[in-house]
Amino acid sequence: MDQVATLGVTRPRARSPRASFWAKFTAQPATVIALVFLAVLILAAIAAPLIASLVGHGPNDLYRTQMLDGFGLPRGPNGSFWFGADSAGRDVFIRVIYGARVSLVVGVVATGIAVVIGVTLGLIAGYRGGIVDTLLSRFADVMLAMPLLLFAIGISTACSTTSAGCLRGTLTPGLNLVIVIIAVFTWPAMFRIVRATTLSLRETDFVEASRAIGQTEFSIMRSEVLPNLISPIVVYSALLVPQSILFEAYLTFLGLGIPDSTPSWGGMLDQASQLFSVAWWLMVFPGLFLLATVLAFNLIGDGLRDALDPKTPRRTTRKRAA
Amino acid sequence: MSQTPPTTDEILRLDHLTKHFPVGRGLLFSRQRDIVHAVEDVTLGVTKGTTLGIVGESGSGKTTTARMITRLIEPTSGTIAFDGLDISNIDGARLRALRRRIQIVFQDPSGSLNPRRTAGQIVAQPLRVHDIPGDHSQRVAELMARVGLSPEHITRYPHEFSGGQRQRIGIARALALDPELIILDEPVSALDVSVQAHILNLLDDLQRERHLTYVVISHDLGVIRHISDQIAVMYLGRIVEMGAASGLVDHPMHPYSAALVSATPSHPGRRQSQRIVLGGEIPSPITPPSGCAFHPRCPKARLISGDHHAAPETCRLHTPPLTPASDGRMVACWYPVEADDNLIDAAHAMTANPG
Ligand SMILES: Nc1ncnc2c1ncn2[C@@H]1O[C@H](COP(=O)(O)OP(=O)(O)OP(=O)(O)O)[C@@H](O)[C@H]1O
Ligand code: SF4
Ligand SMILES: [Mg+2]
């Protein structure tokens, strides 16, 4: 073992991968702000009933006498209704907080389903190649080529005409339907990334080495290839979440997503569009929250990409002269 | 180490081993396909406990041969026998059992180690895959120590090591299952010259200690002649010369081997003016030259024809078979090099008067 010393090539102990990940991830102030914003939003969404009881207003409580004027128009922000009231006299602040629940649940669950489908199929297509790859890739291409919004509108209309839903009741209108629609249309994006990366990993020497050792193809896929896909999967998931949140807002805005009894940002924007000239707060508050949430997820996605890319220098390292 | 004639001690035998890769012409829907003649009719044997070095320029088919021996790709034709058993077509449990006996070490030590696994996990991988009973961590520690790594290296990731250390990890992984034959594909060519010697010494020690058989592949004759008992010289997928290492390096009989030897810088007393400088590029293995594949570049052929533009008809039309010459040497050449051949000038005349 003294041979090691004579080689003189032992490098100084690098920082643990986790520590250097955090250093890079938090290097951009914008990423940190986005993280803090999302942390607060998630806490607020979880604690929505608690906040409602502290304020004293439920999300569907009507404050007609207090918050509607003589013409039946809503009143704006004041000391106890921070974000004003909507046309039915409900507290916009409380509804925005409850709306965060819908957006976050849709964003995370729809992305989660899309990731599971996209990663599984992408891994199989990229690793197996051949006819399996051709079939799966064409299928994903077809899904990507579909006029997304049109199809989504079609499906949700078909499944929303009665409360029994469609496909013998497997899809009922509301949150679940929205999540399924979004997942069905977003997995191909994840599929493509995973397939392309797997395609190049399949040719690496360490996969070849695993084969030479006698590891089965399934085991190589699972324990050699998959761990090397974590970076692209994590980064891309973070970018799919805001896309899903926006998609839900579109659907609900068009009256095809979440029913009005459940507060959601898309639904609130839908109502606001009819009253914008007299009640700006109906548009501004849910709109701002939607914008900030989408932006925050995108910033985190960018931050993750930089932090997980070994080629990104850490901010703290000295700048070399170009 | 002594030169052994073919005996029952033979652990590996390749017979007429051939690999053709079909490649698309790039024309959409075209049925027409080109064929890369990566390995052509390779026949050789390796004696237990010795080292066979395979040397040749880039693209001569060395890696393809290695991948066929390790059954990572299927031969187009020909057979591979390991320990007397034809392994060219085995699969399933028998192939899995074979994998314990033949291991491979790759050229690029960073590419052959999974960047998401620690050194310890990488070395333990073969033990895990084959469900070897016993204490894996103890075995890993022994292996790491044997290849010159220390215990604290076990939990580190490949990017935290130098190239030489990474190759040590690759060697430890190859040793884990106590194989009999190890294929080393350019084991040191990615490393600094100072580190190369350490790795070659380690390989040498391990071979003696564990009675290992090596097939070492390199484009660098300097590396090959240091560790090989037998050397096979490959050119465009074929073996052009094969024999005991010292004899072949001292008296190459094939004009291509002579050029390789003369270009090896570590050869004692060798000066630039004594190099046989070959003109032209190595031809495409898709359309190998007719007859002897070396004829477009061969200086000896010019000495025979007396014309520095053309090789004699024999060389252009007939493929020379690998035939026994003196001292167990095998040569594939119609006009093997003789002591008074001036190949340096012949090669010079070719490059000076191209066309
Ligand atoms: N999978 C493949 N498909 C098509 N052609 C291939 C394939 N693998 C190798 N070849 C071709 O076969 C020939 C021999 O390649 P091989 O890798 O065996 O050469 P080599 O002697 O190892 O060269 P190097 O020193 O560059 O590693 C080359 O022309 C190469 O382009
Ligand atoms: S057969 Fe002819 S062309 Fe080929 S190596 Fe010998 S002399 Fe040269
Ligand atoms: Mg090679």
- Kindly report the protein residue whose alpha carbon is nearest to atom 17 of ligand 1: B63
Q: Are A193 and A236 in contact (CB under 8 A)?
A: yes
Residue A321 domain-assigned (yes or no): no
For ligand 2, which residues put their CB under 6 angstroms from it?
B 254-255, 292, 294-295, 298, 300-301, 311, 315, 320, 333-335
Counting Cβ atoms within 10 Å, is residue B297 exposed (0-12), middle (13-18) or buried (19+)? buried
Task: Answer whether residue A5 shows pLDDT above 50.
Answer: no
Strand partners, B322: none
Q: Are B308 and B346 in contact (CB under 8 A)?
A: yes
Check A213 against B161: CB less than 8 A apart.
no
- Higher-confidence residue of A19 and B314: namely B314
- Kindly report the protein residue whose alpha carbon is nearest to atom 5 of ligand 2: B333
Residue A185 carries which side chain, given as an amino acid letter? F
Residue A213 domain-assigned (yes or no): yes
- Higher-confidence residue of B183 and A143: namely B183
Residue B214 phi/psi, 5-degree rounding, is -115, 145
How far B156 CA sits from the closest chain A CA (Å)? 9
Residue A181: pLDDT band with limits 50, 70, 90 = confident
Residue-range definition of the domain harbouring residue A142: 34-69+80-311
Task: Answer whether residue B292 shows pLDDT above 80.
Answer: yes
Residue A23 domain-assigned (yes or no): no
Task: Provide the number of structural domains found in chain A.
Answer: 1
Residue A26 domain-assigned (yes or no): no
Residue A20 domain-assigned (yes or no): no
A258-A260-A263-A269 Cα dihedral, nearest 10 degrees? 90
**Ligand 3 is an ion; residues with CB less than 5 A from it:** B 63
Task: Answer whether residue A264 shows pLDDT above 70.
Answer: yes
* Closest atom, ligand 2, to C-alpha of B336: 6
- What percent of chain A has pLDDT above 90? 39
For residue A209, give Cα distances in angstroms to A179, B46, B176.
41, 23, 13
Residue A21 domain-assigned (yes or no): no
H-helix segments, chain A: 2-7, 17-25, 29-46, 48-55, 64-67, 92-128, 130-145, 148-160, 175-201, 205-213, 217-220, 230-253, 265-275, 281-308
How far B15 CA sits from the closest chain A CA (Å)? 22
Query: To which H or E segment does residue B46 belong?
Result: strand B33-47
What is the mean pLDDT of the segment spanning B133-159?
Answer: 93
Q: Are B92 and B150 in contact (CB under 8 A)?
A: no
What is the mean pLDDT of the segment spanning B75-82?
Answer: 96
Residue A34: pLDDT band with limits 50, 70, 90 = very high
pTM score: 0.82
**What angle (nearest 5°) sits at the alpha carbon of residue B127, between those of residues B121 and B132?**
145
In chain A, the N- to C-terminal Cα span, in Å, equals 40
d(Cα B212, Cα B12) in Å, to the nearest integer?
12
Q: Are B254 and B221 in contact (CB under 8 A)?
A: no
Counting Cβ atoms within 10 Å, is residue A44 exposed (0-12), middle (13-18) or buried (19+)? middle
pLDDT tens column, B228-287:
999 999 999 999 999 999 999 999 999 999 999 998 875 555 555 678 888 888 899 999
pLDDT tens column, A149-176:
787 777 777 776 666 666 666 666 678 8
- Whose CA is closest to B247, among B130, B327, B164? B327
Residue A10: pLDDT band with limits 50, 70, 90 = very low
What is residue B116's DSSP assignment?
A: T
For residue B306, give Cα distances in angstroms to B156, B312, B344, B349.
63, 9, 15, 11
Q: Which residue has the tokens 């029994």?
A: A164
pLDDT tens column, A198-235:
999 999 999 999 999 999 999 999 999 999 998 899 98
Residue A313: pLDDT band with limits 50, 70, 90 = low
Q: Which residue has the tokens 């998609």?
A: A247
Instruction: Write down the pLDDT at residue B314.
Output: 92
* CATH code: domain of residue A206: 1.10.3720.10
Residue A5 domain-assigned (yes or no): no
Q: Are B3 and B328 in contact (CB under 8 A)?
A: yes
**How crowded is residue B270: how many other Cβ atoms within 10 Å of its Cβ?**
14
Burial A48-83 (b: 16+ CB within 10 A, else e): beebbeeeebebeebbeeebbeeeeebbebeeebeb
Residue A10 domain-assigned (yes or no): no
Strand partners, B13: B45, B81
How far A232 CA sits from the closest chain B CA (Å)? 14
Which ligand has its closest atom nearest to the C-alpha of B240?
2
**How crowded is residue B102: how many other Cβ atoms within 10 Å of its Cβ?**
25
d(Cα B74, Cα A284) in Å, to the nearest integer?
66
Which ligand has its closest atom nearest to the C-alpha of B233?
1
What is the mean pLDDT of the segment spanning B338-349?
Answer: 84
What is residue A85's DSSP assignment?
A: B
Residues 6+ apart with CB under 8 A from A66: A75, A81, A85, A89
